[in-house]
Amino acid sequence: METCAIEAAMKPNNREKNRRATVRYDAIVIGSGISGGWAAKELTGKGLKTLVLERGRDVKHVTDYPTANLNPWEFEHRGQVPLAVRAQYGNIRSFMREETLHWTIKPDEQPFVEEQPFTWTRGYHVGGKSLLWARQTQRWSDFDFEGPARDGFAVDWPIRYADIAPWYSYVEKFAGISGNKDGLPHLPDGEFLPPIELNCVETHFQGIIAQKYNDRQLIQGRCAHITDPQPIHIEQGRAQCQHRNLCVRGCPFGGYFSSNSSTLPWAEKTGNMTLRPHSVVHSIIYDEKKGRASGVRVIDANTKEMLEFYANVIFVNGSALNSNQILLNSTSSRFPNGLGNDNGLLGKFVAWHNYRGKISAQFDGFLDKTTDGKNPSNGYIPRFRNLHKQETSGPASRFLRGYAVGVGGGRGMVQNREGMGLALKEQLLNPQLGPWNVSGWMMGETVPIERNHVRLDANLKDKYGIPQLVTSAVWTENDDKMVVDYMEQMTEMFAAAGFINIKALDSHSNPGSDIHEMGGVRMGKDPKTSLLNEWNQLHSVKNVFVTDGACMTSTGTQNPSLTYMALTARAADYAVKQLKKKTL
């Protein structure tokens, strides 16, 4: 009986029918990182049979964190990556460490063309960059959503804070965000778990800023760490953060939010998710007759075979530049220049954050104090330049918008390497606590301009036959002036706090080094000047939703991922409601 059924299935006609039956889903999500994980959770939770396509390998929570519990001496090279190994990765990157080498991709995976120098950090495995991120999470406010309209750049956002606020609350409660309710209109409070405390030198700096400035504050960083597990976190199998600060290796406690510890297992539990690793999405299929997307083309990374999968609704969450690449590569008679690209703006107005400004110093007080445990977060100074209006005089009038600042302080162990013999050996074996070091890093808003764009190379392809992405992005005078202001203001604030050996610098890092690339498929009110509407739907292909950084009309100064999570949950809710009404 069974043999007959298999034979029947293998007959050419039935084989095709069966193949189609197993490749049809209610929804397809491209990418399993921060935003894709949320799309998967929401769509499966609302009953949609959902295929999640991930170009990289599978990474199972806990079991696939090979270095999570290793001691420093258990690494063959004490954490360093030998030059010969580095060479296999194409360049000598400062980020490369032995404990996280397994997250790094080799250059032949996805070569791209840097028309101008551009740093593109990617995480190609299940969970994407949710396993690499620094977990800082702040809400946007209307000071950000109204920025383009007020200051005359990009286009007006089609949404305001009130549209997204309930969705921030929704994702914060599930993800677990720690923070203090600071009551700042420009950095709205969220559904916070208790904050991670500042240390003594950070608290000292906080006091000085409060005393000397009425336009700025230093607050506890808001971050996706569970400081007081709630039933919803325990139900996810996650536990309280242990302050080990080894998050980049993957956290076996689920102490911080990642797709792997949180949204993907939740989606899995519904029984509605099919997760397919090693599936490189080539393009989205457009059905000319129906005037809608019908599915996606995938290259199986192992066999290099091209496969097709079909669904009623498609969420594009490959991370900002990949989502641009997928849409640009999705051509048809109706859309010869890329899916939804009626106005020719697809790939344009790409932006990022300006992390060029750095500052470091020392403090010679508090020598009787050190920290208990490690702080996986930091202090944070929300934006204070050009906040309520564009200044017309004074230093802030030199540039548009402004910057936030991350601040951290700590004491390291110092070895006295002078002398010789037994005394030297004793010194080396017994390092002493050094002075307090303090550092600050700039997080500036870049203003999206049409000139900064990505496009497909006309000739070069990668090993999957996908046209290579060309990145063409430069800093502007606005960015340069903002860095100068950062260095001046931070030097003044550090000096006021009594810090010594102050060193402020412009790192002149490449665009993209902040790892917050955004735009290219921006949201807007008008299909003539934007690609996506207020629900993250392509204006002209309504069953395609783009909810990762590609959708960002402007960049704000906040770390962006919390906003991607909220936009994704909001768009998924809308998509399912429209599917139920049969209007999608």
Ligand X SMILES: Cc1cc2nc3c(=O)[nH]c(=O)nc-3n(C[C@H](O)[C@H](O)[C@H](O)COP(=O)(O)OP(=O)(O)OC[C@H]3O[C@@H](n4cnc5c(N)ncnc54)[C@H](O)[C@@H]3O)c2cc1C
CB of 376 or CB of 512, closer to ligand SF4: 376
Phi, psi of 142 (to 5 degrees): -70, -15
Decide: is 242 part of the binding site for ligand SF4 (CB under 6 A). yes
Q: Which does 245 bind (CB under 5 to 8 A by kind): ligand SF4, ligand X, none?
A: ligand SF4
Decide: is 175 part of the binding site for ligand SF4 (CB under 6 A). no
Structure tokens at 324: 């641009």
CB of 229 or CB of 376, closer to ligand SF4: 376
Q: Provide the 10 A C-beta neighbour count for residue 581.
A: 8
Decide: is 256 part of the binding site for ligand SF4 (CB under 6 A). yes
Q: Provide the 10 A C-beta neighbour count for residue 72.
A: 9
Interstrand relation of 453-461 and 467-472 (parallel, antiparallel or unpaired)? antiparallel
The span from the CA of 237 to the CA of 249, in Å, is 18
Q: Which does 444 bind (CB under 5 to 8 A by kind): ligand X, ligand SF4, none?
A: none
Q: Find the helix packing angle between 200-212 and 477-496, rounded to 10°.
A: 100
Q: Which does 246 bind (CB under 5 to 8 A by kind): ligand SF4, ligand X, none?
A: ligand SF4
Contacts of ligand SF4 in 372-411 (CB under 6 A): 376
Residue 245's SS3 state is coil
> What residue is closest to ligand SF4 based on CB?
255
In 3D space, the residue among 503, 518, 398, 366 whose CA is nearest the CA of residue 441 turns out to be 503
Amino acid at 161: Y
Decide: is 221 part of the binding site for ligand X (CB under 6 A). no
Stretch that binds ligand X, among 71-79, 192-200, 318-326, 483-491 (CB under 6 A): 318-326
CB of 255 or CB of 357, closer to ligand SF4: 255
The residue within the footprint of ligand X, chosen from 133, 256, 403, 499 (CB under 6 A), is 133
CB of 34 or CB of 43, closer to ligand X: 34
Contacts of ligand X in 481-520 (CB under 6 A): 515-516
Instruction: Give CA angle at 548 (545, 551), nearest 5°.
Output: 70
474 touches 508 (CB < 8 A): no
DSSP-assigned states of every residue in 59-82: --TTTT-TTTT--GGGSTTTT---
CB of 65 or CB of 564, closer to ligand X: 564
Phi, psi of 253 (to 5 degrees): -85, -10
The residue within the footprint of ligand X, chosen from 330, 559, 569, 579 (CB under 6 A), is 559
The residue within the footprint of ligand SF4, chosen from 45, 127, 255, 409 (CB under 6 A), is 255
Binding pattern to ligand X, positions 324-343, x when CB under 6 A?
--x-----------------
Binding pattern to ligand X, positions 229-268, x when CB under 6 A?
----------------------------------------
Interstrand relation of 50-53 and 273-276 (parallel, antiparallel or unpaired)? parallel
Decide: is 507 part of the binding site for ligand SF4 (CB under 6 A). no
Decide: is 273 part of the binding site for ligand SF4 (CB under 6 A). no
**Exposure string over 463-501, b if 16+ CB within 10 A, otherwise e:** ebebbbbbbbbebbebbebbbebbbebbbebbeebebee
CB of 100 or CB of 242, closer to ligand SF4: 242
How many residues at the interface with ligand X, by CB under 6 A? 38
In 3D space, the residue among 458, 470, 449, 469 whose CA is nearest the CA of residue 348 turns out to be 449
Decide: is 116 part of the binding site for ligand SF4 (CB under 6 A). no
The residue within the footprint of ligand X, chosen from 68, 81, 123, 483 (CB under 6 A), is 123
Residue 537's SS3 state is strand
Decide: is 132 part of the binding site for ligand SF4 (CB under 6 A). no
CB of 46 or CB of 61, closer to ligand SF4: 61
The span from the CA of 55 to the CA of 124, in Å, is 7
How many residues at the interface with ligand SF4, by CB under 6 A? 13
Residue appearing with tokens 């010594």: 500
Interstrand relation of 541-546 and 357-363 (parallel, antiparallel or unpaired)? unpaired
CB of 178 or CB of 554, closer to ligand SF4: 178
Decide: is 280 part of the binding site for ligand X (CB under 6 A). yes
Phi, psi of 311 (to 5 degrees): -165, 165
Interstrand relation of 403-414 and 432-445 (parallel, antiparallel or unpaired)? antiparallel
CB of 36 or CB of 148, closer to ligand X: 36
Structure tokens at 261: 């510890």
Decide: is 408 part of the binding site for ligand X (CB under 6 A). no
For the chain, state the CA radius of gyration: 25
CB of 75 or CB of 464, closer to ligand SF4: 75
CB of 133 or CB of 494, closer to ligand X: 133
Q: How far is the CB of 256 from ligand X (least distance, A)?
A: 10
Q: How far is the CB of 105 from ligand X (least distance, A)?
A: 9
The span from the CA of 211 to the CA of 203, in Å, is 12
Amino acid at 386: N
Binding pattern to ligand X, positions 37-76, x when CB under 6 A?
----------------xxxx--------------------
Residues that bind ligand X (CB under 6 A): 30-36, 53-56, 121, 123-124, 128-130, 132-136, 279-281, 317-319, 322, 326, 515-516, 548-549, 559-561, 564
Residues that bind ligand SF4 (CB under 6 A): 225, 241-247, 251, 253, 255-256, 376
